[in-house]
């Protein structure tokens, strides 16, 4: 998939890994505050907007947390072009979710063509080649058959499965037994070459950084968001298109948002 910047875009923002859930209202408050004040004309959400997404029918529950988030995004979409790429936690977001959010769904990966450079946008999980157990799991849950069978289960059952997955994830964090792989450098260079891109932007690893891969290619890693952390984390990667100078330029700036 390839997108081109629009003529009226001057500021483009990238975020990922908000892991929104009802139990952490501070992160949703940070998102709402950002959406109300952002100068960007375009927002790209590169995966894991939600901690878990068990199907678009969760939006049918009046007053649900998911519907609340969708309403924030729908309101913002009146002034900001919103694009969403699914992550490893919310890969079941479908067309009804995108419509409710006023967003355009992106494929993974997507190339964003700006006036002077090609930016490859991805969640990043598929490039963590050393995490073989996760990649096996990823292949299973991304299969049409698995998704069809899962979505046939009652919503309450799927929500219970989602809660269990969150508990398992938190248990790994508490015991420090979880294995957190990083993006494979060779794989990153290969996919950039395949798509004739200059820079990659991704999330998933929660290791914000800027890596020079070679003389002309780089990898930008987005931060996760956590409004309840000390200090809170809510970071945006921002590109000012009017300041891009060449295909080699990395005119991206990290913006740490004030806590609402």
Per-residue pLDDT of the chain (260 residues; tens, 9 = 90+): 999 999 999 999 999 999 999 999 999 999 999 999 999 999 999 999 999 999 999 999 888 999 999 999 999 999 999 999 999 999 999 999 999 999 999 999 999 999 889 999 999 999 999 999 999 999 999 999 999 999 999 999 999 998 887 787 777 666 655 557 899 999 999 999 999 999 999 999 999 999 999 988 999 999 999 998 888 899 999 999 876 554 444 468 888 877 66
Instruction: Tell me the C-alpha to C-alpha distance, in Å, between residue 202 and each of 106, 172, 187.
Output: 13, 23, 13
Phi, psi dihedrals of residue 217, rounded to the nearest 5°: -125, 145
Q: Please tell me the distance from the alpha carbon of residue 35 to that of residue 72, in angstroms, as a whole number.
A: 8
What SS3 state is found at 257? coil
Quote the CA–CA distance of 62 and 131 in Å, as a whole number.
39
pLDDT given for residue 167 in this prediction? 81
In the prediction, which pLDDT does 180 show? 73
pLDDT of residue 62: 86
- In whole angstroms, give the CA distance from residue 112 to residue 201: 10
CA terminus-to-terminus distance, the chain:
35
pTM (2 d.p.): 0.93
State residue 260's pLDDT score.
61
Residue 177: what pLDDT? 52
For residue 249, the model assigns a pLDDT of 47
**For position 203, what pLDDT does the model report?**
96
- Domains of the chain by start residue, with CATH: 2-256 (3.60.21.10)
């Amino acid at each position: 998939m390839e997108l081109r910047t629009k003529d009226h875009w001057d500021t483009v923002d990238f975020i990922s890994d908000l892991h929104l859930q009802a139990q952490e209202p501070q992160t949703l408050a940070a998102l709402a505050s950002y959406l109300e004040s952002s100068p960007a004309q375009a927002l790209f959400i590169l995966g894991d907007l939600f901690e878990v997404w068990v199907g678009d029918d969760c939006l049918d529950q009046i007053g649900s947390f998911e519907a609340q988030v969708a309403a924030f995004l729908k309101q913002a979409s009146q002034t900001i072009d919103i694009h969403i790429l699914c992550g490893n936690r919310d890969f079941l977001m479908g067309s009804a979710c995108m419509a409710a959010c006023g967003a355009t769904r992106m494929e993974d990966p997507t190339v964003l063509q700006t006036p002077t450079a090609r930016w490859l946008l991805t969640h990043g999980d598929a490039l963590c080649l050393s995490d073989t157990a996760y990649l096996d799991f990823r292949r299973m849950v991304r299969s049409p058959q698995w998704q069809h069978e899962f979505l046939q289960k009652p919503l309450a059952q799927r929500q219970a499965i989602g809660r269990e997955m969150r508990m398992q994830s938190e248990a790994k964090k508490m015991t420090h037994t979880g294995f957190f792989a990083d993006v494979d450098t060779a794989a990153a260079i290969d996919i950039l070459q395949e798509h004739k891109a200059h820079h990659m932007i991704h999330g998933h690893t929660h290791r914000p950084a800027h890596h020079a891969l070679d003389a002309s290619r780089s990898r930008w890693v987005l931060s996760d968001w956590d409004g309840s952390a000390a200090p809170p984390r809510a970071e945006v990667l921002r590109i000012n298109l009017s300041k891009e100078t060449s295909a080699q330029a990395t005119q991206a700036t990290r913006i740490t948002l004030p806590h609402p």
